Amino acid sequence: MAKKLLATIVATTLIITGCGPDKSGGSYDDVEALRDAFVEAGGECDDWNQSNKVSGAAQSGECGTDTVLSTYLTRDAVQDRIAETKDSIFGEMGGEWLTGENWVINTDDVRGIQKKMGGTIVSFSNDEGE
Regarding predicted confidence, which is higher, 29 or 11?
Answer: 29
Confidence of residue 14 (pLDDT cuts 50, 70, 90): very low
Measured from the Cβ of residue 91, the count of other Cβ atoms closer than 10 Å reads 18
| Angle of helix 31-40 versus helix 110-117 axis, rounded to 10 | 100
Mean pLDDT throughout 82-108?
89
pLDDT value of position 16:
38
Q: Tell me, what's the pLDDT at 88?
A: 83
Q: What pTM, to 2 d.p., does this model score?
A: 0.79
Please give the average per-residue pLDDT across 72-82, as a whole number: 95
HSE at residue 121, side-chain half, CA atoms within 13 A, is 14
Under the banding of pLDDT at 50, 70 and 90, the label for residue 17 is very low
pLDDT of residue 125: 75
